[in-house]
Structure formats: structure tokens, C-alpha cells
Structure 1
């Protein structure tokens, strides 16, 4: 599956246009860091949105916004004026979210607990039913090199007293082949 998630900054205002079938298309340029080195230049990528998402992008996102974009990455061949073909990457948006609208502690209402909150202790691990069938115990085999093999002891699984097996009724329309 072709999927890409980027944290980027919009460097060109989203441009909305419509196809001949009246389908909305928005195109914009974003830049993102593609290196761990701070002195490397950020990469630029063309981003395209379609349909209702295209109009949402044009209305809600603007140059300078930092966004998280999820979508499909594609490569397109473009004829250059110099007479050669160039491959360019393009991201087709499936989801977009502004980083400024994400939850931040300063936007959360202040909360002062009256009592220190503690979590209850976890329940004890014994007598936990298992849904695996019991495994057969290992039988010791005589060793030709005089080494006594280790035998693991295995506790059999006990079925809870209130266990009711689910019995499915046969489907009269189901014809086995």
C-alpha cells in the first residue's frame, strides 16, 4: 500500500480550480526537512487535494501554516522546455490537519485535583482462564550421551464453572461441496 505521512509547512497558497466535470482540485507547495543535518535545505513537494477535501484545504489552510499531511505519493514525468523529461514527486492528500489546532497543554482548562488520584492495583494473575487447549506433557527420551533432559511441568487448563460453549445451528441454505 502506498502511504506517506509528512509534517510540512505550506509555502505556496493553495490554488483551487475545477475540472471539466466540475470536480474541485487544489494544488499547493509544501516544504519539509528531509535530513538530520540542520544546514541542509528543506525539500519541496507539490500537494494535490480532490473533491470536498480540495475546497476544505483552500478555505482552511494558508501559506505559512504547519500541517500534517497523509496521502499517496506518486511520480509524474514532465516535459521540460529544454527538451528533456523530468520526474517529479506529487502527494495526493487523503487527510490533512493543522499543527496549531492540535491539543496543547496551554489550551487545556486548568484542573486542580482535590484528592491525589491513584489507580487500583491490577487483579491477581492466578486462576485466569486460558482458551488454549492443554498441551501434552513432554516424555523423557533416553539420551545416548548420558545427559538427563529437562522436562517442563505443565499445569492443565481448568475451565470456569460458568462456561457455556457456543453451539451454532447449521444453516439450511449452506450446501457443502
Structure 2
């Protein structure tokens, strides 16, 4: 199974385009995440959101926003201008969890009161977004592990 979770910093504002066939929104951001070693520079990755997640990226996510993202990792072969091939990672979103206080994703439920029959004043801090299953990407990812 291919499921990844990354803590990222948004480096470029979201760009949105639409598919030709059914006009499904597709948003793309460039995000940066820390490397495992302290002396290595941060890595960048292209993050893709489809449908409602694309709309949320466009409307709510800004440059320098901190997010925890969940989804699938895919490796694409891209031909450079000099004719050589390069592998680039692409992350397809399933869920977004904001870490910055400047993000208020509408699809994230507000804090809910626990059992009101007990008159308990505790609330749940577990905020998450429903899974977005569109579109499905084939399980033929070429990840070099």
C-alpha cells in the first residue's frame, strides 16, 4: 500500500486548472519538507489536489502555510531540455491537516463537545478531513525503494 504523511511548508501559491473532459478542478502547490539529517537542505515536492481538495488549496492555503498532508507518493519520469530523463516525486492529496493558525479549511470540523449527557466540558482536538477518492491513480507507481 502506498500511503504517506508529510509535514510541509507551502513555498508557492496554489495554481488551479481544470480537466478537459469533465472540468474537475486540479490544484498544484510546491511544498518543502525537512530532510532526515540536520546538515541536509530541505527537499521540495509537487503536491496535487483534486476536486474539493483543489478548491480548498486554492481558497485557503497560502505561501508559508504549514500543513500535514496525507496521500500517495508517485515518481514521474520527466525529459529535461538536454534530452536526459529525470525522476520527480509527486504527492497526490487525500487529506490536509493545517498546522498554521492562518488556515481555516471549511471541510475540517470544528472542535466537538464530548458526551453532553455527562455535562462534560472536554472537547476533541482531532481535526481531520474526509477522504477524497477522486481520481484513483493506478498502483503501478515506480518508487525506487
Give the TM-score normalised by the residue count of structure 1. Answer: 0.55
CA deviations over 1:54-91 (Å, ceiling 9, x no partner): 11111010110000000000000111101111110000
SS of the equivalent of 1:100 reads coil
CA deviations over 1:87-117 (Å, ceiling 9, x no partner): 1000000001210259xxxxxxxxxxxxxxx
Name the counterpart of 1:56: 56
User: Any residues of structure 2 matched to 1:1-177 within 5 Å, and which?
Assistant: 1-21=1-21, 22-37=23-38, 39-101=39-101
SS of the equivalent of 2:82 reads coil
What is the distance in 2 between the residues matched to 1:100 and 1:84?
A: 39
**Higher RCO, Cα 8 Å, sep 6+:** 2
What is the distance in 2 between the residues matched to 1:65 and 1:52?
A: 19
What is the distance in 2 between the residues matched to 1:13 and 1:87?
A: 23
Residue correspondences, number:
102
**Moved runs in structure 1, 4+ residues, more than 6 A?**
none
Q: Please provide the CA RMSD for this pair.
A: 1.7
For structure 1, the residue ranges without an aligned partner over 5 or more in a row are 103-177
Q: Give the superposition deviation at 1:52.
A: 1.2
What is the distance in 2 between the residues matched to 1:64 and 1:100?
A: 9
SS of the equivalent of 1:97 reads strand
What is the distance in 2 between the residues matched to 1:7 and 1:23?
A: 26
What is the distance in 2 between the residues matched to 1:84 and 1:71?
A: 29
Name the counterpart of 1:158: none
**Structure with greater Cα Rg:** 1
